[in-house]
Structure 1
Amino acid sequence: MMLHFNFFRPGWIWLAGLFLLFIGCTSSPFGADEIAPDHRSIQGFAKLQDTRHYQGIYVWLEGLNQGTRTNENGGFKITLPPEAQLPGVNSLDGTYKLYFFVANYKTATAQVAIRKGEFLYGEQDLDDKGFLRRPVTLVKILDIETRVEPKWARGNSTNPINVITSLQAVNDSVEVLYPNSIGGLIGGILFRSLETDKVYLEAADLGLERALVENVGTFPRSRRYIFSLDRLLVRLPVGNYEVVPYLFIQHPEVPEQLILSLGVNFDEISATYLNMPFQRKGGHFRVID
Structure 2
Amino acid sequence: MNGLQKTIFLLPLSFLVPVSILSMMSCTKNPVAGDAIIAPDIRQISGRVVLNDESTPDSVFIWLEGFDLNTRSDKDGQFTLALPLGSETVAQKLSGIYHLYFYVANYYWESAIVIVNNGILLLSRGDVDEKGRLKHKIKLIKILEMKAKTEPDTITEKYNGIVNVHVSLTALEEPVIVKFPKISGQALAGAILRNDEGEMFFIENSGATERSVIVKDEVSEWDLPIFYKPGIVPIGDYEIVPYILIWQYGIPEGLLKSIGEDAEGFGPAYLGIPFKRQVGRLTILPEPDQRM
TM over 0.5: yes
Q: Secondary structure of the equivalent of 1:257? A: helix
> Aligned pair 1:154/2:156, yes or no?
yes
How far residue 264 of structure 1 moved from its aligned partner, in angstroms, is 5.1
Q: Name the residue aligned to 1:6.
A: none
Q: How many residues align?
A: 250
Q: Secondary structure of the equivalent of 2:187? A: coil
Q: Name the residue aligned to 1:57.
A: 60
The two structures have a TM-score, normalised by structure 1, of 0.82
Q: Name the residue aligned to 1:79.
A: 82
Write out aligned runs for 1:214-225 (5 A).
214-225=213-224
Q: Name the residue aligned to 1:91.
A: 93
Q: Distance in 2 between matches of 1:286 and 1:128?
A: 52
Q: Secondary structure of the equivalent of 1:120? A: strand
Higher strand share: 2
> Aligned pair 1:109/2:108, yes or no?
no
- Residue type at the aligned position of 1:217: K
> Aligned pair 1:262/2:265, yes or no?
no
How far residue 35 of structure 1 moved from its aligned partner, in angstroms, is 9.8
Q: Name the residue aligned to 1:38.
A: 41
Q: Distance in 1 between matches of 2:88 and 2:245?
A: 33
Write out aligned runs for 1:1-289 (5 A).
36=39, 38-83=41-86, 85-86=88-89, 88-193=90-195, 195-205=196-206, 210-230=209-229, 235-263=232-260, 265=262, 268-289=265-286
- The sequence identity of aligned pairs, in percent, is 30
Q: Name the residue aligned to 2:30.
A: none
- Equivalent residues of 1:156, 1:229 under 8 A apart: no
Unaligned runs of 5+ in 1: 1-33
Q: Distance in 2 between matches of 1:238 and 1:247?
A: 26
How far residue 228 of structure 1 moved from its aligned partner, in angstroms, is 2.9
Runs of 4+ displaced beyond 6 Å: none
Q: Distance in 2 between matches of 1:90 and 1:103?
A: 32
Superposed CA deviations along residues 69-126 of structure 1, whole A, max 9, x for unmatched, are 001111111111234543x210111110111000000001111100010110100101
Note closer, same or farther for the CA distance 1:204–1:264 as it changes in structure 2 (3 Å cut). Answer: farther
- Residue type at the aligned position of 2:217: T
- Equivalent residues of 1:179, 1:212 under 8 A apart: yes
- Equivalent residues of 2:263, 2:272 under 8 A apart: no
Q: Secondary structure of the equivalent of 1:176? A: strand
Q: Secondary structure of the equivalent of 2:250? A: coil
How far residue 252 of structure 1 moved from its aligned partner, in angstroms, is 1.7
Note closer, same or farther for the CA distance 1:85–1:35 as it changes in structure 2 (3 Å cut). Answer: closer
Q: Distance in 2 between matches of 1:35 and 1:111?
A: 16
Superposed CA deviations along residues 225-268 of structure 1, whole A, max 9, x for unmatched, are 1113317xx72221111110001000121011111111152674
Q: Distance in 1 between matches of 2:271 and 2:260?
A: 10
- Equivalent residues of 1:157, 1:228 under 8 A apart: no
Q: Distance in 1 between matches of 2:116 and 2:143?
A: 32
- Equivalent residues of 1:188, 1:245 under 8 A apart: yes
Superposed CA deviations along residues 145-167 of structure 1, whole A, max 9, x for unmatched, are 00011111112211211111110
Q: Distance in 1 between matches of 2:206 and 2:120?
A: 49
Q: Distance in 2 between matches of 1:237 and 1:211?
A: 29
- Residue type at the aligned position of 2:95: D
